Chains A and B, each alone.
Chain A
C-alpha cells in the first residue's frame, strides 16, 4: 500500500502545489486523482516516484519511507505512463518496451522476448516491433507507453493523463484495455486525469482535488455520485450525475415479461392473445427486430422494414440500470428489451418497472452501492 501522509509541496517560486494531502492508496486496484488543471495532480504523482521531493510530510510504500530507497531502484519498481507516451524516438518499438529490463541488466534476447510478450498483452500487432515511434498512431504509441511501463513487471503503475491526447473512440478502447489488463495483472495503479467520466469509469477509489492541492473528497465513484461532499465536487461531477449514478446499479433484478414478444410468423390469434399496446417482433433465432402496434401487423407475414427501432438492448446481470433505462427511453413503446449473451430476447421491461427498481436501489443505501461498484 502507498500511504501519503500530510504531504505539502511548495515549489521554489512559492507556489503551493499540494497542501497537507493525506491519502491511502489500496493495493491491486486503480486509484484515480481527478481535478481541474493546475490542482496538483501531477505533482502528487511525481512525489510517489520522487521526481518531485515533498517539502513536508512522508510517503510510505508498504510501510517504508520512500526516502530510504535509492531513487533509481524506487523508480524502476514503478511503471510510469504519460500523455503523448514520451517514447524514445530513436529506438524501435521493441527496444522502447525493453528499456527498463535492459537498464536492470537483462540480456538483449531476454529483454526483447519479454517486450514481444507485452506487445501482445497490450494489443499491438507484432509487425510493429521493428518500427519507430513516428510510424505509429497516437493510440498505438500510448499502448507502447503502457507496455514499456509494464515491462519489468513493477508492482506499481503511475499514469499521468495517459489517454488525454487521443480521440474519444481510441480513448475508450484504451480504457477498456487498461481495465482488462488490470483484471489479469492486479497492479497498484495511481491514475491522474482531469476527466471525471474517465475517473468514474476506471477508479475503484477516486480522489477529487481542487486548486491549491487540497483533497475535496476521497470515495468510491458510486458514493461520489450519490453524495458529493460539497458544492465544488457536485459542480465538478457535472449536470447528469443522477443518470450516471445508475451505472452502478445492477439490472439483474428487473422483472422481465415475455407477454408482448412475438415471432415474425405469429398468427392472428397469437397477436390478439398478446393483448398489449405495443409488440416486440423477433426473428427466427429470437433476436429483436422492432416494435409495432398490433393494428399495423399482418399476421403470418410481418414486414421487418415497417417496424420501429428497439434501441440498444441490455443484458441483465452485465449491464446496469442506466443501460436498461436508456433502452426504454429510446423505444417508442417505453419498454426496454433484455437479451442474453447471444442477443436473443429474454423479455421486456417497462419504464415504470425500471423506475421502481431505481427507487428501491436508492433505498438500499450506500453500502450496497459501494459493493456493486467494486
Chain B
C-alpha cells in the first residue's frame, strides 16, 4: 500500500486520473490564452497604437502573484479548478500575445503588399498569410506557455487541493511518504517534456515550407527571465 504509484485516497484519483486532471488544468488555460491572443494580436498589428498599452496591461497582470489572483478569485469562483485555470490562462495570454504579434510583424512587406494587391481583405490576409507564416513563432510561444502552465498547476494545491499532481507534495508531508514528492516532481517534468516534444513535432508538420538544415530557430519575444516554475509566491 506504500508503492510509488499508490495515491492516497484523500486525492480521490488514481495515478492516471491525476495525470489527466493535471493536463486538463494546464492545457485548457493555454488553449483559452491562445484563442484570446489570436484576435487581440490582429487588433494590435492593425492598430499599432494599441499594442503598447495592451502589452503594458498584460505585463502588469503577469506581475501579479498567483496567490493574490487566487485570493481575489476565490470570492467568485470558490475552491474550484476554475480558480486555478483563470490565472494560468492570463499568464498564457501574456506569453502568447507578443509571440504572435512579433511573428505576424516579421512577415515581409513585399508579401503583405502582394496579398493586398491581389485583393485580400484584412481578415483573409491575417488568416491565410500572416498567421501561417507566424506559425514557428506562435509555437515557440506555445512551448513556453505550456511548460510553465504544467509546472504552475501544482500551486492549485493551496486552493482546496486543486493542484492535481501538485497535491502529492502536500500528501508527501502529511503521510510522511517522500516517494510521493519524487513521483510528483518526476511526473510533472515528464509531462512537460512530452508536451514540448509534441509541439516541436507539430511545428515540423506545419512548416514544410521552412528551409531544411538552416531551419532557423523561430524568432520569439518570449520575455525572459521567466519565474521559477515551482515558486509558490507567484
A71 and B210 CA atoms in complex are apart in Å by: 33
A23 sits at the interface (CB 8 A)? no
B3 sits at the interface (CB 8 A)? no
A259 sits at the interface (CB 8 A)? no
Q: Are A49 and B209 in contact (CB under 8 A)?
A: no
* Least Cβ–Cβ distance between B24 and chain A, in angstroms: 32
Q: A85-B110, A89-B111 are in contact. Are A99 and B118 (CB under 8 A)?
A: yes
Q: Are B110 and A82 in contact (CB under 8 A)?
A: yes
Q: Are B110 and A132 in contact (CB under 8 A)?
A: no
* Least Cβ–Cβ distance between B117 and chain A, in angstroms: 4
B113 sits at the interface (CB 8 A)? yes
A84 and B109 CA atoms in complex are apart in Å by: 11
Partner of A76, one of B118, B132, B208, B209: B118
Q: A83-B110, A132-B209 are in contact. Are A90 and B133 (CB under 8 A)?
A: yes
B230 sits at the interface (CB 8 A)? no
Which residues of chain B (2-25) have a CB below 8 Å from chain A?
Answer: none
A87 and B116 CA atoms in complex are apart in Å by: 12
B108 sits at the interface (CB 8 A)? yes
Q: Are A134 and B116 in contact (CB under 8 A)?
A: no
Q: A132-B209, A134-B211 are in contact. Are A86 and B119 (CB under 8 A)?
A: no
Q: Which residues of B contact A87 (CB under 8 A)?
A: 111, 114
* Least Cβ–Cβ distance between B104 and chain A, in angstroms: 13
Q: Are B114 and A89 in contact (CB under 8 A)?
A: no
Q: Are A82 and B114 in contact (CB under 8 A)?
A: yes
Q: Which residues of B contact A137 (CB under 8 A)?
A: none
A148 and B117 CA atoms in complex are apart in Å by: 12
A51 and B207 CA atoms in complex are apart in Å by: 30
A80 sits at the interface (CB 8 A)? yes
Q: Which residues of A contact B113 (CB under 8 A)?
A: 51, 80, 82, 86
* Least Cβ–Cβ distance between A82 and chain B, in angstroms: 6
Q: How many A-B residue pairs have CB under 8 A?
A: 67
* Least Cβ–Cβ distance between A104 and chain B, in angstroms: 9
B113-142 interface code vs A (CB 8 A; 1 in, 0 out): 111111111001000010011010000000
* Chain A interface, >50% SS class: mixed
Partner of B118, one of A85, A90, A100: A100
For chain A, give the interface size range: 20 to 34
A84 and B115 CA atoms in complex are apart in Å by: 14
A73 sits at the interface (CB 8 A)? yes
A15 sits at the interface (CB 8 A)? no
Looking across the interface, which residue of chain A has its beta carbon closest to that of B129? A88
Which residues of chain B (164-200) have a CB below 8 Å from chain A?
Answer: none
A103 sits at the interface (CB 8 A)? yes
Looking across the interface, which residue of chain A has its beta carbon closest to that of B208? A132
A37 and B7 CA atoms in complex are apart in Å by: 74
Which residues of chain A (68-114) have a CB below 8 Å from chain B?
Answer: 71-76, 78, 80, 82-91, 99-100, 103
A71 and B119 CA atoms in complex are apart in Å by: 7
Q: Which residues of B contact A89 (CB under 8 A)?
A: 111, 133, 209
Q: Which residues of B contact A71 (CB under 8 A)?
A: 119
A76 and B117 CA atoms in complex are apart in Å by: 8
Which residues of chain B (58-117) have a CB below 8 Å from chain A?
Answer: 108, 110-111, 113-117
* Least Cβ–Cβ distance between B204 and chain A, in angstroms: 14
A209 and B173 CA atoms in complex are apart in Å by: 82
* Least Cβ–Cβ distance between B87 and chain A, in angstroms: 34
- Max chain B Cβ within 10 angstroms of own Cβ: one of A76, A82, A88, A148: A88
- Max chain A Cβ within 10 angstroms of own Cβ: one of B108, B113, B132, B208: B113
Q: Which residues of A contact B132 (CB under 8 A)?
A: 90
Looking across the interface, which residue of chain A has its beta carbon closest to that of B206? A90
Q: Are B119 and A88 in contact (CB under 8 A)?
A: no
Q: Which residues of A contact B209 (CB under 8 A)?
A: 89-91, 132-134
Looking across the interface, which residue of chain A has its beta carbon closest to that of B133? A90
* Least Cβ–Cβ distance between A85 and chain B, in angstroms: 7
Q: Are B119 and A73 in contact (CB under 8 A)?
A: yes
A88 and B107 CA atoms in complex are apart in Å by: 10
Q: Are A75 and B211 in contact (CB under 8 A)?
A: no
Q: List 22 A-B contacts (CB under 8 A).
A: A51-B116, A74-B119, A75-B119, A76-B119, A78-B117, A80-B113, A80-B118, A82-B113, A84-B110, A85-B110, A85-B114, A86-B113, A87-B111, A88-B111, A88-B114, A88-B115, A89-B111, A90-B209, A100-B119, A103-B124, A133-B209, A148-B118
Given contacts A51-B117, A75-B116, list 11 more A-B pairs with CB under 8 A: A72-B120, A76-B118, A82-B117, A88-B111, A90-B132, A103-B119, A103-B124, A132-B209, A134-B211, A148-B118, A158-B117
